Amino acid sequence: MKTAPTVSPNGTWILITTLVLMAQPTVGGAFCHAQANAITEGQGSQSEKKTNDTPWKARRDLVQKNSQRRSEFNYYESKVPPYTLPDPLLANDGTTISTVNAWNQSRREELITLFRNKVYGNRPEAEYSIAFEQLAEQKNIWNGLATGRSMMATVSIGDREFSFPFVLFVPNQSQAPVPAVIHINNRYFIPLEKAVSENDPFWPAKTLIERGYATASFHTSDVDPDRKDGYAEGIRAFFAAGKPPTPDAWRSLSAWGWAASRILDHLETQSAIDSEQVAVVGHSRGGKTSLWAACEDPRFAVAYSNNSGCGGAALSRRAYGETVGRITSSFPHWFCESFAEYAKRESDIPVDQHELMALIAPRAVYVASADEDLWADPKGEYTALVSAAPVFELLGAKSITETTMPPLNQPRIAGKTGYHIRSGGHGLGEVDWNWFLDFTDRLAR
């Protein structure tokens, strides 16, 4: 089985302003089950496993511990610098954006250009084709629930080729096309055989199938190595024919998001999948990627960011936990060179991460944090989501507007946005997945 559609040079698509629902009523509702107080085994500290109605705030013992361990970084709310967020509805020429047409026709493009030039880099403008080959297939797995396929995507420019693998599972028993989830795996590649035999909590394919979703996963480093010195081996060097990247060229986060879009290209050819109901999901650096992927490709109906922190869901201007200076020096291959220029001067960045989420509106966004992951700045992640509300509202979509954080282990959902902060540290597990799927199930109601 091979297909080879030709795509546009930079892989971007026309913005669709109509919200795409995430699940068919005949699919999502059948698998919805309560996860409101579930805690993944081993994730939560003993002192924080009980839920209550108290808004979350960073635990004093963790603030002190992290401050002692990384004294050069701030973990105290009292030390967050004063800041003013840029207004996503204020155009570059100073005019206020007050209509859907003004947002779609001008302001959205202004913002995405700023993010490309100042944070994530610009994807290359080069014609290419992509083909998908099935390498292996297992039918009727999990007592007949699904079919699993090992796939290879091959990108061609002239006589040059670049390939990366991914794994796909599709439910067998649905009477209608099903929604799907594309997982950006920043940890390891999970081959077909392992995904069938072991329901890995980082990508629990069986759980997703049981909840009524098709799902695909790829490993980031198979597309662009997650190393400072990995450029020559990845898709970015392939597009540049081996030449060094220019200062404003795309970096790894953008490359990984581009790969998620290429898997979506394949899902569009599958009659069992409703390609207008596809979510993109990532954890940590993968969560940064999922948000940017949904900005670049409006075909994604939902973006889920898990513990993504600086350069992802968290506001840069708060300079809480990981900072722009630290992330760009430790991971220079993630962001274009301009982002590093704002180290210790975050308030000068012309954009901030609430505008990243605004670029996804009126499609759906779900953000997740973890109680012990102060490095990722949970409050900054939540505040960014809330601060995107004016754009969601302008585009006719309800969103979270409550500025007080929700209690621990109690997801908050409003319209097309959702958020939870769970017990435990930096990780992605079944409890995160089930709360996220509860959110996407609701979109079909």
pLDDT in tens, 149-194: 999 999 999 999 999 999 999 999 888 999 999 999 999 999 999 9
The pair of structure tokens assigned to 134 is 């099935």
Res 421: pLDDT: 98
Residue 237: HSE in the Cβ half-sphere, 13 Å Cα cutoff: 12
Q: How far is C-alpha 30 from the chain's CA centre?
A: 26
pTM of the model: 0.89
- In degrees, to the nearest 5, what angle opens at C-alpha 235 toward C-alphas 189 and 110? 110
Q: Are 176 and 27 in contact (CB under 8 A)?
A: yes
The type of residue at 318 is R
With a CB cutoff of 8 Å and minimum separation 6, the contacts of 246 are none
pLDDT tens, position by position, 111-153: 999 999 999 999 999 999 999 999 999 999 999 999 999 999 9
Q: Which of 275, 284, 305, 308 is catalytic?
A: 284
Confirm whether 426 is a catalytic residue: yes
With a CB cutoff of 8 Å and minimum separation 6, the contacts of 384 are 313, 314, 315, 352, 353, 354, 356, 357, 367
59: buried, middle or exposed (CB in 10 Å: 19+, 13-18, 0-12)?
middle
Confirm whether 333 is a catalytic residue: no
With a CB cutoff of 8 Å and minimum separation 6, the contacts of 345 are none
Res 36: pLDDT: 32
Work out the mean pLDDT of the chain and round it to a whole number: 90
Range of the domain at 344: 2-442
Res 52: pLDDT: 78
Rounded percentage of the chain residues whose pLDDT exceeds 90: 87
Q: How many domains does the chain have?
A: 1
The Cα–Cα gap between 187 and 219 comes to 7
CATH number, position 360: 3.40.50.1820
The Cα–Cα gap between 378 and 369 comes to 5
Q: Which of 45, 106, 156, 426 is catalytic?
A: 426
Instruction: Give the residue, 40 or 62, on which the prediction is more confident.
Output: 62
